């Protein structure tokens, strides 16, 4: 995998833990995106979400499902960009069928309803591109609020709410979430996985949201550059 918003894989370590294979990646000294937002504020959340969505779009284009997308698994590079990390639950998938692992580990609060109770949806447990898109919707909420979905509820209560089709309310805080992104989030975590957008559509939506956010920002003052002095022999003048 080679992408600006994906943590590179250096190799596999077979010796540190003989009973397990370990993926080795570069150390990211800036830590997680949650730490970054806590340290630097949330002014550029929409840019970060757009970049994260591009990383997810790339993963899915390679027929890979991340499987555990959440703030703790998104790191910040030395260039201050986000990169998706922790591919311990990632799996190959046939884009035309839900054929992934039956291993049920994962982070409950970011899990789509069909992962929590597959039988209710008439399917077996399978991580799919649609479950990643659901988790991305949860990441959007998490980055804006600094808290996981249904943070005020126990995991069991949160699971029951998700299974019944309930979702967290739109947050109201100093880091106001626009109506546009809230509309997108509600598409991302739709109850029916078949109605959720693809990662490509998510990336398009988040790029549009970022452009809309940029349009609301005050333009930076232009740098004054004096015109060259015509008497200056070192000045170069171009004319058509």
Kindly list the catalytic residues: 68
Q: Is 108 helix (H, G, I), strand (E, B) or coil?
A: helix
Task: Tell me the β-bridge partners of 92.
Answer: 64
Confirm if 115 and 127 have CB atoms less than 8 A apart.
yes
Residues found in the chain: 240
Burial class (CB in 10 A: 0-12, 13-18, 19+), 53: buried
Q: Phi/psi class of residue 154: alpha, beta or left (left: φ > 0; alpha: ψ in -120 to 50)?
A: beta
Confirm if 194 and 130 have CB atoms less than 8 A apart.
yes
Q: Helices (DSSP H) in 83-125: which residue ranges?
A: 113-116
Sequence-distant (≥ 6) Cβ neighbours of residue 87 within 8 angstroms: 9, 23, 66, 67
Six-digit token pair at 237?
């003048």
């Amino acid at each position: 995998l080679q992408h600006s918003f994906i943590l590179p894989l250096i190799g596999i370590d077979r010796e540190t833990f003989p009973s397990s294979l370990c993926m080795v990646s570069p150390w990211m000294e800036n830590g997680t995106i949650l730490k970054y937002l806590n340290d630097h504020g949330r002014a550029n959340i929409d840019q970060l979400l757009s970049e994260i969505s591009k990383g997810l779009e790339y993963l899915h284009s390679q027929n890979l499902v991340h499987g555990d997308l959440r703030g703790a698994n998104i790191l910040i590079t030395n260039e201050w960009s986000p990169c998706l990390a922790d591919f311990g639950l990632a799996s190959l998938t046939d884009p035309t069928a839900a054929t992934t692992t039956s291993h049920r580990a994962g982070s409950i609060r970011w899990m789509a309803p069909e992962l929590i109770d597959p039988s209710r949806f008439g399917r077996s447990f399978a991580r799919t591109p649609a479950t990643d898109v659901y988790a991305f919707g949860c990441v959007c909420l998490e980055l804006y609020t600094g808290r996981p979905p249904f943070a005020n509820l126990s995991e069991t209560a949160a699971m029951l709410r998700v299974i019944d089709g309930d979702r967290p309310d739109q947050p109201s805080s100093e880091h106001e979430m626009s109506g546009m992104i809230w509309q997108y989030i509600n598409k991302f975590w739709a109850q029916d996985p078949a109605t959720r957008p693809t990662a490509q559509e998510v990336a398009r939506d988040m790029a549009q949201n970022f452009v809309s956010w940029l349009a609301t920002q005050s333009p930076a003052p232009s740098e004054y550059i004096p015109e060259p002095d015509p008497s200056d022999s070192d000045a170069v003048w171009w004319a058509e």
